């Protein structure tokens, strides 16, 4: 490779890293990126005097910090792992240590790295990795991630918990939630997340906590970064101090006892064979653990991209230390992508709730990552054209990160043409399809299309909308076939079919009564739920809450102009236009008013629990003021304080900055209080806050 070619790869690699880390929008697969990095490393080994300072080998990540979150410096650097791509390298790593050395082998979760710090058992800070030395403060968001305890339990059996504890975690989005969110985004015409890691990064770094909470983010703890005890526990060998400072796998046990969700770890030691105690025993155990993870990876509910082999001994880790980029005591073995060649048998079209058409390739069944697959979504006409794919073509299929089937390339064409959606009609109703301006996406505009109705009713009844438990897809399709539901408002007339309802196979009186009770209860949902359930593209409950806090009912919201909508933080131009277009269209307005307008349906249209007040003097007491809430308040929950601030016109931020007007502080306020004091920001307690809004 020439120096010019090397520098070209460095530039391309940095562009890919920027898209991955900063834009959460990867432009190449992880495998392609890894292979490019291997070429760069090979050149640099052979030409150490020509290593470019901007090379990714010279830094932990390419995070340039474009986020609006407060930047924080890590107490313990959050380094990356050195990747290897063949088992000989793993064996060489294991054999480089004495015979009695123990290792742990763990799944390499494909998510976003984060550390969480506890002081006296209370979560005080969560920070993303960033460039390995400076990250982003995402504390408020981290409190809503499954697997991350907000408080550590007291009185546990292992002794006193550390005064200060810092834990490294990997935040991820379960595959089922990734598919659900992308399905909603695709039907709403929004840009899709490329993969679960991309989605997890975007959601963790959003200022819309409600959106993040609804997403279903989770996290695995995989390393103790530091643990500081007030008094050393010299005598209690079962105590936490001894466990955390001696052994990685014992440290994971402590974390599990304290409420963390811990990465699955296999302990590998030659001590398991007391007669031979040879190093080959450990190599065999390590390889077996890596193979076991590879066998299971296709069935895991989350993405992984390899296996991590690390030393168990904390003392030996501390002796070895780190390079500027990686720890010397661990390696990451990256699994190669599994690919199969197959033949496209058909391309079928599916109609979503908004009428958007999604093409799906059906191919001869192949086994990938332990599962048989025969379908893969093609998303839209642009993807089809890029692949140049048609029925009868031979293609390469793989599972992206061993989970979602995708077509990578066409290897043999049946003929020169590519499949065209425009040649077809709606697969559900037979109506004509209309394309967007670019001709990439096609939509069925038939308001009576059964597929659109079915998927819209399912969306309307979902937990995040009107939350009608028991009204699932199969039952919805049954009701549509019986013509009991011809529009979404007919849900509220199902009681008129009670005598026939109880006769449906597998249903009965008890199930019918429960369903109708749940339907009746949905009428009292607040209008943030109702606004989301209307299915306006890009408009969710967070926008519904903004509108509900500022307008008394749906009739007032119907009349808002684009400029009025955009005057609120959190409502952008695209969402504002979508809301205005929805209520300006006679058909969609009429459909909405069937729900909350005068008539027999009775769905609530007023902003009740969100406490709209038309008393502008009262509601505007905190207009333009930004608050940060930290610590435990004496009598109010933090959610109650936030609601009060927003009801009176203020804003609540998750981090302290020069734009912060007040910090509302309770007990165990932590680093935010310190930051506020250093910036000279006014600090108030709950009593002073209550006087401000009295």
List active site positions.
Answer: 108
Residue whose token pair is 């959003």: 206
- Give the HSE-up count for residue 506: Cα atoms under 13 Å, Cβ half-sphere: 4
Residue 497: DSSP 8-state: G
Residue 10: DSSP 8-state: H
**Residue 314 structure tokens:** 């904390």
**Residue 451 structure tokens:** 């597929």
**Angle, CA of 324, 325 and 327, to the nearest 5°:** 95
Does residue 684 sit in helix, strand or coil?
strand
What residues contact residue 538 under an 8 Å CB cut-off, 6+ apart?
A: 188, 189, 190, 574, 575, 578
Judge whether 374 and 343 are in contact, CB under 8 Å: no
State how far the Cα of 650 lies from the Cα of 631, in Å rounded to an integer: 19
**Residue 279 structure tokens:** 């190093």
Judge whether 368 and 379 are in contact, CB under 8 Å: no
Judged on CB neighbours under 10 Å (0-12, 13-18, 19+), 527 is buried
Residue whose token pair is 């390696």: 331
Q: Is the dihedral of CA 378, 382, 383, 384 positive or negative?
A: positive
State how far the Cα of 466 lies from the Cα of 447, in Å rounded to an integer: 21
CA distances from 305 to 58, 196, 265, 401 (A): 22, 12, 16, 6
* Cα-to-chain-centroid distance, residue 40: 31
């Amino acid at each position: 490779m020439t120096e010019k070619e090397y520098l070209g790869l460095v530039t391309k690699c940095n562009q890919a890293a920027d898209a991955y880390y900063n834009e959460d929008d990867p432009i190449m697969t992880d495998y392609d990126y890894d292979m490019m990095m291997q070429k760069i490393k090979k050149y640099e080994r052979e030409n150490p005097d020509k290593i470019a300072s901007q090379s990714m080998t010279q830094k932990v990540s390419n995070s340039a910090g474009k986020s609006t979150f407060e930047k924080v410096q890590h107490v313990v650097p959050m380094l990356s792992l050195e990747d290897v791509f063949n088992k000989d390298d793993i064996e060489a790593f294991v054999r480089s240590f004495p015979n009695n050395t123990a290792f742990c082998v763990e799944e390499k979760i494909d998510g976003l790295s984060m550390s969480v710090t506890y002081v006296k058992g209370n979560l005080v800070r969560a920070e993303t990795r960033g460039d390995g030395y400076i990250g982003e403060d995402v504390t408020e968001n981290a409190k809503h991630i499954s697997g991350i305890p907000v408080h550590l339990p007291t009185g546990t059996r292992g002794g006193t918990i550390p005064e200060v504890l810092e834990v490294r975690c990997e935040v991820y989005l379960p595959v089922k939630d990734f598919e659900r969110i992308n399905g909603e985004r695709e039907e709403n015409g929004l840009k899709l997340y490329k993969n679960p890691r991309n989605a997890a990064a975007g959601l963790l770094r959003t200022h819309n906590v409600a959106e993040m909470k609804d997403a279903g983010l989770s996290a695995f703890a995989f390393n103790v970064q530091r643990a500081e005890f007030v008094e050393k526990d010299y005598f209690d060998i079962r105590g936490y101090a001894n466990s955390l400072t001696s052994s990685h796998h014992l440290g994971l046990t402590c974390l599990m006892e304290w409420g963390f969700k811990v990465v699955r770890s296999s302990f590998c030691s030659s001590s398991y064979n007391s007669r031979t105690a040879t190093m080959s025993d450990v190599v065999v155990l390590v390889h077996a653990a890596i193979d076991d993870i590879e066998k299971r990876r296709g069935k895991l509910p989350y993405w992984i991209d390899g296996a991590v082999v690390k030393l168990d001994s904390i003392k030996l880790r501390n002796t070895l230390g780190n390079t500027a980029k990686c720890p010397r005591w661990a390696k990451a073995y990256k699994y190669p992508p599994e690919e199969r060649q197959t033949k496209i048998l058909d391309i079928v079209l599916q109609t979503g709730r908004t009428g958007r058409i999604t093409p799906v390739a059906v191919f001869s069944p192949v086994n990938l990552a332990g599962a048989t697959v025969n379908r893969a979504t093609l998303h839209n006409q642009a993807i089809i054209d890029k692949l140049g794919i048609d029925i009868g073509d031979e293609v390469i299929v793989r599972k992206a990160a061993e989970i979602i089937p995708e077509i990578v390339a066409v290897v043999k064409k049946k003929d020169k043409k590519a499949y065209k959606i425009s040649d077809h009609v709606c697969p559900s109703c037979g109506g004509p399809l209309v394309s967007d301006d670019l001709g990439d996406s096609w939509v069925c505009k038939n308001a009576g299309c059964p597929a659109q109705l079915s998927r819209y009713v399912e969306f309307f009844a979902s937990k995040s909308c009107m939350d009608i438990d028991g009204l699932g897809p199969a039952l919805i399709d049954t009701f549509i076939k019986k013509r009991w539901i011809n529009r979404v408002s007919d849900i509220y007339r199902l009681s008129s079919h009670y005598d026939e309802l109880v006769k449906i196979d597998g249903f009965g009186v008890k199930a019918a009564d429960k369903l109708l009770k749940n339907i009746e209860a949905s009428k009292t949902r607040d209008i943030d739920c109702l606004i989301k359930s209307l299915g306006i593209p890009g408009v969710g409950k967070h926008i519904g809450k903004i509108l509900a806090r500022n307008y008394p009912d749906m009739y007032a919201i119907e009349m808002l102009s684009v400029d009025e909508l955009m005057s609120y933080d959190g409502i952008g131009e695209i969402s504002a236009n979508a809301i205005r277009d929805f209520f300006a269209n006679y058909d969609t307005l009429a459909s909405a008013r069937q729900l909350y307008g005068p008539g027999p349906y009775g769905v609530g249209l007023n902003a009740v629990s969100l406490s709209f007040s038309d008393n502008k003097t009262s509601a505007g007491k905190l207009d333009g003021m930004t608050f940060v809430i930290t610590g435990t308040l004496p009598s109010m929950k933090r959610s109650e304080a936030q609601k009060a601030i927003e009801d009176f016109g203020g804003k609540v931020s998750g981090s302290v900055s020069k734009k912060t007007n007040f910090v509302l502080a309770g007990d165990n306020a932590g680093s935010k209080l310190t930051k506020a004091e250093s910036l000279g920001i006014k600090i108030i307690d709950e009593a002073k806050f209550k006087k401000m809004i009295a």
